Amino acid sequence: MSVSIARADITGLILAGGRGSRMGGVDKGLQPWHGLPLAQQVLARLQPQVGPVRINANRNLDTYRTWGLPVLTDDRAGDFAGPLAGFLAGLDACTTPYLLTAPCDSPLLPHDLAHRLGEGLVQAQARIALPKAGGRLQPVFCLMEADLRDDLRAFLQSGGSKIDLWAAQHRMAIVEFDDARAFENINTQDDLQRLERTDSP
């Protein structure tokens, strides 16, 4: 029988702290998709898979707080320092053994993401698990041990910024997913309109 990680042992973190530069500088997490903000669509997929959920955001904080979840900002929020800064904010606030991150602009993320990444991590005795789909690693969807926080802080302080380079420094599990569309992210208004026409939550 396969062994995964208990849902209650995983904190979910929705990454909504980016600059949204390819979408004209708007807050991507608040862009409507099928009647709800993108980040709420991601929340609807992620929340049933994990225990506590947090949102990493660097603007429109009051709006995100109305959703009833803790909102975490980056230490370098004004710099829009990238996903790893969001990871660290999540790890610093994490009270469970594991943290699972998901970007706010991928509303089709798999319903079994946490279970399958947890399974891969346990089987490989790894510290980090990443999905791979369509031949590509999807590093922004990252399941990691919470006690990696100091290691990640040191990596960022040394000038590191790439998720895959940081992850590669640790024992890592790569988990294959069949549906590459589940990891498709929305970067532009055209992407948003296309997914609105072709996909549903």
Quickly state the pLDDT bin for 156 (edges 50, 70, 90): very high
- 138: tokens are 């999807």
CB burial of residue 175 (10 Å; 0-12, 13-18, 19+): buried
β-pair partners for 72: 56
Instruction: Give the pLDDT mean for 118-146.
Output: 97
Which is it for the CA torsion 92, 53, 78, 145, positive or negative?
positive
Lowest mean pLDDT among 44-58, 74-88, 146-160: 74-88
| pLDDT reported for residue 188 | 67
Q: Is the model's pLDDT at 22 over the cut of 70?
A: no
Average pLDDT, rounded, for the chain:
90
Quickly state the pLDDT bin for 185 (edges 50, 70, 90): confident
Quickly state the pLDDT bin for 26 (edges 50, 70, 90): confident
107-126 b/e with 16+ CB inside 10 Å = b? bbbbeebbbbbbbbbeeeeb
Give residue 163's identity as a one-letter amino acid code.
Answer: I
Q: Is the model's pLDDT at 192 over the cut of 70?
A: no
Long-range pairs, 191-196, Cβ under 8 A, ≥24: 192/23, 192/31, 192/33, 195/33, 195/107, 195/108, 196/33, 196/34
Q: How far is CA 103 from CA 2, 94, 110, 130, in A?
A: 27, 17, 13, 13
Alpha helices for the chain (secondary structure H): 38-46, 61-65, 83-93, 113-124, 149-157, 163-167, 189-198
- Higher per-residue pLDDT: 39 or 197: 39
* 165 and 156 Cβ atoms separated by less than 8 Å: no
Of 118, 116, 110, 56, give the one whose Cα is nearest residue 84: 56
| pLDDT reported for residue 17 | 85
| pLDDT reported for residue 18 | 73
Tens of pLDDT, residue by residue over 99-109, are 999 999 999 99
